Amino acid sequence: MAGSLTGSGGGGGGNRWRDLDRLLTRPGNIVGPTFDPSPELRSELQQYVRVLVVGAGGLGCELLKDLALSGFVNLEVIDMDRIEVSNLNRQFLFRLQDVGKPKAEVAAKRVMERVKGVNIVPHFCRIEDKDLDFYNKFNIIALGLDSVEARSYINAVACTFLEYNSEDKPDEDSMKPIVDGGTEGFKGHARVIMPGVTPCFECTIWLFPPQVKFPLCTLAETPRTAAHCIEYAHLIKWDEVHGGKPFDADDPEHMQWVYSEAAKRAELFGIPGVTYSFTQGVVKNIIPAIASTNAIISAACTLEALKIASGCSKTMTNYLTYNGLEGLHTKVTEFVRDKDCLVCGPGTLLELDPSTTLQKFIELVGDHPKLQLSKASVTHRGKNLYMQAPPVLEEMTRSNLNLPLYELMDKVPKDVVHVAGTVNKDDKKTSALRKLRVVFKGIDGVTDMDTANGA
Amino acid sequence: MGDLSPCVVYKQESTKHTFAIENLVEALTLSEAHPLASMAEPKTKYDRQLRIWGDQGQAALEKASICLLNCGPTGSGDIEKSCSWRSGKHNSHRWIQMDESSVGQSKAKCVCAFLQELNDALVEASLLRLDRICRQANIMLICARSYGLTGLVRISLKEHTVVESKPDHFLDDLRLNNPWPELKRFAESIDLNTTDPVVHKHIPYVVILVKIADDWAQAHGGRFPSSREEKGAFKELIKSKMIALDEDNYKEAVEASFKISAPQGITLQLLFLNAHELKQLVAIRRMYFTIHISGSSLHQIINDHSVEVDSTSSDFWVMVGALKSQLSEFISCDDVLDYCFSAIGELLYDLCQLSCRCYVNLQKIYQAKAEADFLAVEQQYRPIEEEFNSPSLPEMQKYLNDEDCRWLPIAIGFYILLRAVDRFAANYNRFPGIFDGELDEDIPSLKATAQAILNDLGCNGSTLMEDLTNDMCRYGGAELHAVAAFVGGVASQEAIKLITKQFVPMTGTFIFNGIDQKSQLLIL
């Protein structure tokens, strides 16, 4: 019987998915509520389920490979970066000769070469460059990102699609699940976000505290660590000496200069530990990364994606941490939603006079104490009411600014409006998407709920 | 240390997804055959991992020989594929085929891919045999297995010593709840009730914690806050001492307040300024080192026979030997404890106008941070056979009756069931649930087998996890890529730790739980 236990290799053949099919065709006891086992389930998944992988770096490469080898067929990947030499220790889809090429394109090509039948569409651009329609076509979004801002943005995008029914319960069909991973050295996390059910990224934003910055006076007067010396050279001395010339972390000469200044200062204060490598690490905020941790975390994310798509097992609720530094520790934490979350909640309520113009509405959104969303673009049910960019769209929609929002919204007494703009967070401008529930004052409230809550 | 760090990765199931190996290959610099070896900048390529284990760790990985057993009929192809998939080029000299008997002879060169046609009936028996062979030959064995939505990773070797455990942080080892005399004296020299606002906002938070914890203990019969309510009250107590809103030192104290309640670790750090041997040994790196003992007591380690150091002893035992000779100068271990303290990381109060003197004094007391990290760990692993035949019963019962699990002790269930499917396979020459038609018959058989295993172990296995047994049959020995990749990732992380002798490898058996991801490390 040994033959039945052994794989058939990645090359395909009739029973390539035999193992997966055992889980998809047989009923189980510990399964998701929607699980409907059948011999057709896999091909249905392969036909209808679309997964977007955001990021084609350490985790992204693993995610694409894992998803492809887990039976997913329709994949797309978005990443704005090009391949660097230091990626090659773990971003295994890339070769030395790929350095300089777009990550998304090379990653897609390599996985398609290896896994027959999978189709991966690469997008070499920023995540903000894609409109909501692009994101809306996916059933699951898998994140392999290293920045809080990007996670926050995609999270807001996914939550944008969430609709609430008349009892303020989230509508399951409108939920766009996210699986998110992150790693640092031997540690990592994987989480599942079911907008409206589990906490969204913004509900638990405190899990990602802003990076600690050294007070300038410590750097200038009482340095005690190697990092203090490096940041002194990087943040204070550079400007003193180079007067206005911007520091470029990717310029080896600049880095070398900072290193030698930091080394001098370290010697002066008798502080050990300043090396070129450490200088790079501090200045560029380099996060150490290894392949095996990425493998673990993306495998966890992929398994959750498979379970969400098929229901073949119950899913994790909702946040897994893995730490292999001292022994091996894993923990699943069930975080709870922030009931007042601006992003995954039913939306911020705005009561408006029916005569309020779109221009006035945009100003209100900018001044709103909770929102403070500047340079807002406004959409209603997929229709662009006003777009700040690109210039062509701006021009096309500019005339709407002087019209009453009520009319632009086809005179519905209340409805959801999506607003995209920028917010100031930790002294940094970041892109943000917000959902607003607009209610027009004085309009007869007796309307059917369907209108208010959307199709 | 020897020239080789032999390491065996044993995959119990044949698999079409070569998992562990993919990640291992990547961690290893593939020396000459690697296209980058001729490049000037391998350092750039490996920058992100060199930051973790350094040149020494990387060199250890490069020297290591790894043998992958049991990757099934397509295994050799897989290795080649995954090497090229992962590294662009297949480095053939590192992966050589050999058979079981040669594992035992391979002390000098354990370089192989062992391709065994899986004989179902022998799964457990061959694992135990392999474990014996590897232990005899002093080869590290890592077992990884992927089965349906579960899997396991287990390390087996005689003993493992770590020279640099590189703990993530020392925050739990501040000994705040038991300050040694110097720290106590220092804390006493500072007045929390000072009326000078500048001084007040520059009291190191460590001192704030030590002092307020002392107040608390005096008011609570010598106990530190333990319950959730008490911890909350303790935080409030700290906050109440603030005299201005911008006192970051108090905020830090509040954030770190949980450390007061942290269990006291046995982390010893000894200043060895006089020990001649140690100076010689350590001079290259540090003046002093820390010995961190996990699982065994100081006495145990010191009385261990290996402490009779000779030229073949590993670094670890040389250091312990030196420690032993040093210890004889003290009256007792308790005296030593008084000289011991933990190193600290970036936790010293960090505000600009902090008086340097105050800081330096505290720093002296704590003896400089991460630079001091020269930790040694010793771990021992039971032979797999011993664990199988006589697992720790109290532990077993603890896992079986885990109250944290709301509905099923899944991890221990999988542990038993993974053994049960092997026993089932030994009887029926196939895994349960392989054939759709026999699914219904296999379930009660597997259940009975699992129950028998529990009985053999002396466990009253309660009503063993009916749902889980059903699902185990449903898996029918299926191997999902995602499960294999997870388990393989864990195995390769552990291999890295074992080979580099840095960080602390796991002990026990890691059971992957793909249902709700509540995986567990079982120490049996």
pLDDT at A309: 95
pLDDT at B170: 39
Is some CB atom of chain B closer than 8 A to the CB atom of A286? yes
Q: Is the domain of B54 the same as that of B117? A: yes
Tens digit of each residue's pLDDT (9 = 90 or more) over B409-460:
788 889 999 999 988 988 888 889 988 888 889 999 999 998 888 888 777 6
Q: Is the pLDDT of residue A317 over 60?
A: yes
B309 assigned to some structural domain? no
**Contact flag A218-B468 (C-beta cutoff 8 Å):** no
Instruction: Please state the CATH superfamily assignment of the domain spanning residues A2-209+289-333 in this structure.
Output: NAD(P)-binding Rossmann-like Domain (3.40.50.720)
Q: Is the domain of B34 the same as that of B149? A: yes
Averaged pLDDT score across all residues of chain B: 64
Q: B283-286 long-range contacts, Cβ below 8 Å, gap at least 24?
A: B285/B374, B286/B371, B286/B372, B286/B374
Where is pLDDT greater, at B342 or B448? B448
Is some CB atom of chain B closer than 8 A to the CB atom of A15? no
pLDDT at A445: 54
Q: Is the domain of B462 the same as that of B493? A: no
Q: Is the domain of B515 the same as that of B396? A: no
Instruction: Please state the CATH superfamily assignment of the domain spanning residues A348-453 in this structure.
Output: Ubiquitin-like 2 activating enzyme e1b. Chain:  B, domain 3 (3.10.290.20)
pLDDT at B347: 24
Of A178-182, B281-285, B295-299, B379-383, which gets the smallest average pLDDT? B281-285
Q: Is the domain of B438 the same as that of B497? A: no
Interface of B with A in 55-94 (CB under 8 A): 72-74, 77-78, 81, 85-88
Contact, A425 vs A373, CB < 8 A?
no
B182 assigned to some structural domain? no
pLDDT at B48: 82
Q: Round to whole Å and give the CA distance between B30 and A280.
A: 25
Q: Is the pLDDT of residue B327 over 50?
A: no
**A216-283: what fold?**
Arc Repressor Mutant, subunit A (1.10.10)
pLDDT at B337: 32
Q: Is the domain of B20 the same as that of B120? A: yes
**Contact flag B52-A288 (C-beta cutoff 8 Å):** yes
B81 assigned to some structural domain? yes
Contact, B307 vs B324, CB < 8 A?
yes
User: Closest by alpha carbon to B351, among A339, A222, A18?
Assistant: A222
Of A276-285, A335-344, B43-52, B436-445, which gets the smallest average pLDDT? B43-52
Averaged pLDDT score across all residues of chain A: 87
Q: Is the pLDDT of residue A430 over 90?
A: no
pLDDT at B295: 33
Contact, B183 vs B190, CB < 8 A?
no
pLDDT at B292: 33
Q: Is the domain of B449 the same as that of B515? A: no
Q: Is the domain of B115 the same as that of B45? A: yes
**Where do the H-state alpha helices sit in B220-314?**
228-240, 248-255, 276-282, 298-303
Q: Is the pLDDT of residue A293 over 80?
A: yes
* Cβ neighbours of A329 in B, within 8 Å: 521
CA B105 to chain centroid, in Å, comes to 29
Sign of the torsion angle spanned by Cα atoms A18, A20, A23, A26: negative
Half-sphere exposure of B34 (CA within 13 A, CB side): 23
* Cβ neighbours of B47 in A, within 8 Å: 86, 89, 277, 280, 286
Q: Is the domain of B408 the same as that of B516? A: no
pLDDT at B222: 81
pLDDT at B163: 62
Q: Is the pLDDT of residue B151 over 80?
A: yes
pLDDT at B462: 58
**Where do the H-state alpha helices sit in A27-102?**
41-48, 58-69
Q: Which residues of A are catalytic?
A: 217
Of A364-368, B48-52, B470-474, which gets the smallest average pLDDT? B48-52
Q: Round to whole Å and give the CA distance between A101 and A94.
A: 10
pLDDT at A15: 74
3-state helix, strand, coil in chain A (%, to 5): 40, 20, 40
The reported pTM is 0.74
| Residue reference for tokens 């750097």 | A219
Angle between helices B228-240 and B205-219 (to 10 degrees): 120
Q: Is the domain of B12 the same as that of B115? A: yes
Domain count, chain B: 2
Tens digit of each residue's pLDDT (9 = 90 or more) over A232-259:
999 889 988 988 888 888 888 999 999 9
Q: ipTM of the predicted structure?
A: 0.85
Contact, B143 vs B153, CB < 8 A?
yes
Q: Is B403 helix (H, G, I), strand (E, B) or coil?
A: coil
Backbone phi and psi for residue A184, each to the nearest 5 degrees, phi listed first: -150, 110
Contact, B347 vs B355, CB < 8 A?
no
The pair of three-digit structure tokens given for residue B105, joined into one six-digit string: 């002879």
| Residue reference for tokens 């032999």 | B6
B413 assigned to some structural domain? yes
By residue range, what is the domain housing residue B403? 389-475
B193 assigned to some structural domain? no
pLDDT at B319: 53
Tens digit of each residue's pLDDT (9 = 90 or more) over A165-208:
878 788 888 999 999 999 999 999 999 999 999 999 989 988 88
- In this structure, the number of other CB atoms found within 10 A of the CB of residue B284 comes to 6
Q: Is the pLDDT of residue B302 over 90?
A: no
DSSP state of A344: T
Q: Is the domain of B88 the same as that of B115? A: yes
Highest-pLDDT range among B128-137, B160-169, B335-344, B440-449: B440-449
User: Closest by alpha carbon to A147, among A182, A103, A179?
Assistant: A182
Q: Is the pLDDT of residue B294 over 50?
A: no
Q: Is B235 helix (H, G, I), strand (E, B) or coil?
A: helix
Q: What percent of chain B has pLDDT over 90?
A: 9
**Contact flag B17-A324 (C-beta cutoff 8 Å):** no
The pair of three-digit structure tokens given for residue B341, joined into one six-digit string: 């303290």
Domains in chain A: boundaries: 2-209+289-333, 216-283, 348-453
Where is pLDDT greater, at B345 or A151? A151
**Contact flag B486-A300 (C-beta cutoff 8 Å):** yes
> With bands split at pLDDT 50, 70 and 90, how would you rate the model's confidence at A409?
very high
pLDDT at A29: 86
**Contact flag B430-A296 (C-beta cutoff 8 Å):** no
Of B193-202, B221-230, B327-336, which gets the smallest average pLDDT? B327-336
CATH, residue B88: 3.40.50.720
Q: Which of A6, A185, A314 sits opposite B14 (nearest CB)?
A: A6
Q: Is A185 helix (H, G, I), strand (E, B) or coil?
A: coil
Highest-pLDDT range among A442-451, B250-259, B312-321, B421-430: B421-430
